[in-house]
Chains A and B, each alone.
Chain A
């Protein structure tokens, strides 16, 4: 980030490469279409560019980027007057798994995605930031403007609810341990 602030254009590309997959995943889980998710990712980078001089050296960049992204996502939902949806992620999980019992594995993964989407937004948000965006709990706390203790409690409540929802159709751990959609693995 320091290099980017100093005017190094290659540094912006590096930031893009590092954060785009995380941001796209964070956006895509809630939005109807890839276009909407990509639009919000673009807005995030534009805001990052406009806010670059606010960045304090020594501060962690990832929570700051996610603070911008989450603000944009909240505003998107307010403007479009709708709550989060998870159809995009459901579609992605619906990609077939390869190998034996591939259909069962796809079903199990879909169940997990569906159970996640049914969690209260405040619980789901911290779980997704921690697990899918790779933020530590202190970073999650910074990104959502809360305390570490509070986000840990929210995550824990989310885990409990998630297990309760998965209880009826618990995915076989062996099915999910290293499973990835076949399209991704073939890349």
Chain B
């Protein structure tokens, strides 16, 4: 006998064999409260469990109509398994990094130690993967998306303090806007893909935070490979701020979304 059987017996008004109940109570301290004082609590909860409102008959037709409207490329994309949606986003990130970073890489890339580059780029990429996976997962959602976003925002800020070559530090903050626009525009296709695979009609704060975090990380990954400027102010204004900008843009553009059913 387990807790669920105890519950079912109460709900169905079945009198259980005393030995079986006692055997369960001996092992399960959690069910004791249900049986004390002539089992008043168990019976009270059972009475509540049987109460229920009649469900409108036409509700199934509404749902069936909503399901029937699930057609087209976006409906197809958002209904793919989470593993496939994740792989699509990762593929898009790789293409962006190749197009915006590797094919247009900074001239001083070879001047930096390999370990520094691997740690920095690897840090961005791993956090990007984890953020994306978290955004897509069908699981009990914890309210940790704001702290997750702040962590993703903090990484480029911390990276701005990583030692750079003397020449790059003396380039000055100029060109920050160019980098901001470059990183922002390069991540627009990724933002479109995030929107396309999102299963929520109305954006949740969670999806806004996590996708903005991922977009900010992707932009910084591209810029780390592309921009030779190591000036602190330039990095903070032109690179690290992109995640925050995506959060604002994402929140505003998706605010007017309406349910599709």
Contacts and interface: CB of A to CB of B under 8 A. Distances in A.
Interface of A: 12-13, 16, 20-21, 24-25, 28, 34, 38, 41-43, 45-47, 49-54, 64, 67-68, 70-71, 74-75, 78-79, 88-89, 92-93, 108-109, 112-113, 116, 127, 130-132, 134-137, 142-146, 152-153, 155-156, 159-160, 162-163, 166, 170-171, 173, 176-181, 184, 187
Contacts of A43: 201, 259, 261
B156 to A, nearest CB: 27
Given A71-B141, A112-B47, A152-B30, A136 B2 contact: yes
A71 B200 CA distance: 11
A159 B34 contact: yes
A42 B63 contact: yes
B138 A176 contact: no
Interface stretch (B17-25, B54-62, B171-179, B218-226): B54-62
Given A131-B48, A136-B2, A74 B141 contact: yes
B111 interface: no
Chain B, interface SS category? helix
Interface in B131-168: 138-143
14 contacts: A20-B55, A38-B56, A42-B62, A43-B261, A51-B79, A109-B47, A112-B44, A112-B47, A112-B48, A116-B48, A131-B7, A137-B4, A160-B33, A162-B41
A135 B49 CA distance: 12
Contacts of B54: 187
Nearest to B78: A50
B81 A53 contact: yes
Contact of B79 (A21, A50, A93, A109): A50
B199 interface: yes
Contacts of B49: 131-132
Contacts of B34: 159
Nearest to B207: A75
Contacts, number: 175
B59 A25 contact: no
A9 B90 CA distance: 34
A93 B51 contact: yes
B214 to A, nearest CB: 19
B195 to A, nearest CB: 14
B67 interface: yes
A156 B100 CA distance: 56
A45 B65 CA distance: 12
A78 B245 CA distance: 22
A122 to B, nearest CB: 12
Contact of B66 (A38, A46, A153, A176): A46
Nearest to B136: A54
A75 B205 CA distance: 8
Contacts of A135: 4
A72 B28 CA distance: 32
Nearest to B67: A49
Given A67-B139, A145-B140, A21 B67 contact: no
B79 A70 contact: no
Given A145-B142, A162-B41, A166-B41, 19 more contacts: A25-B53, A41-B59, A42-B62, A47-B199, A49-B79, A50-B78, A68-B138, A71-B141, A75-B204, A112-B45, A131-B11, A131-B45, A132-B49, A134-B4, A134-B7, A145-B141, A163-B33, A170-B37, A171-B40
